Structure 1
Amino acid sequence: MTQQAAALQTYNNELVKCIEELCSKRDELNRQIKQEEEEKERLQHDIRVLSEKLSRVNESLTQRLAARATFDRTIAETEAAYTKILESSQSLLSVLKQEAGNLSKATDAKTSINQDSRTKHKL
């Protein structure tokens, strides 16, 4: 019976040792789980912060894109109007030169007629 008691004591000691090892492994696993849960919370917080920042950047970008489109449209309209002004100025200058030429011819013709008349009167 002593032998049986000794065997029982050995089994009991091994059983206790196995239970202690399992508890130790469970404690380590709990520590790892707690660590990962904390990391998960940090990551979720970071995601929320980054999502809010992304939203603000998107909103700002949308406003800036709209402003740029307004600038582009205003510049295009202004350049088109300026081109029309240049074309109109060129046309006006051409008409003015033509009229000045016509006036010069008319004036030169009158001057010639007056000079011819004076010459005839002197004779």
Structure 2
Amino acid sequence: MTHQGAALQNYNNELVKCIAELCDKRNELHKQIIQEENEKSKLQNDLRIITDRLAKVNENLSRKIAARNEFDKTIAETESAYSKILESSQSLLNVLKRESVELKERVTSAGPLKATSQ
């Protein structure tokens, strides 16, 4: 019987040792889980911050693109109006030159101007 008691004691010691090893492995795994949960939380917070920044950048970018488009529209309208002014100025200059030539021709063909008495 003592042999059986010794064997039972050995089995008991082995069982206690295995249970302790399993508990150690479980505790180590629990520490890793806590570390990864903390990292996950930090990454989620970083993601939230970056997402907020991205939204703000997109808003600013949208406003700036709209403003640039307004500048483009104003510039195009101004250039078009300026082009029309140049065309009108050229036409006016041509008319003025033609009228000037015609007036000179009339004055030259009419002879010298005479003073009129009153």
Instruction: State the partner residue of 2:78.
Output: 78
Map 1:81-100 → 2, pairs under 5 A = 81-100=81-100
**TM-score (ref. length: structure 2):** 0.92
Q: Which position in structure 1 is the counterpart of 2:116?
A: none
Q: 1:9 maps to which residue? A: 9
TM-score of the superposition, structure 1-length normalised? 0.88
State the shift of 1:90 in Å: 0.5
Q: Which residue does the alignment assign to 2:51?
A: 51
Unaligned residue ranges in structure 1 (runs of 5+): 115-123
How far residue 33 of structure 1 moved from its aligned partner, in angstroms, is 0.3
1:12-67 CA-partner distances (Å, limit 9, x unpaired): 11111110110011001000000000001001111111111111111111111111
1:42 is the counterpart of 2:39: no
- Aligned pairs (5 A) from 1:10-29: 10-29=10-29
Quick one: which amino acid aligns to residue 88 of structure 1? Answer: S
Shift of 1:70: 0.7
Give the residue type in structure 2 aligned to 1:93: L
Moved over 6 A (4+): none
CA RMSD of aligned residues (A): 0.8
The answer on 1:109 being equivalent to 2:82 is: no
Letter in 2 for 1:20: A
Query: Going by fraction, where is helix more abundant, 1 or 2?
Result: 1
Q: What 5-or-longer segments of structure 2 have no aligned partner?
A: 113-118
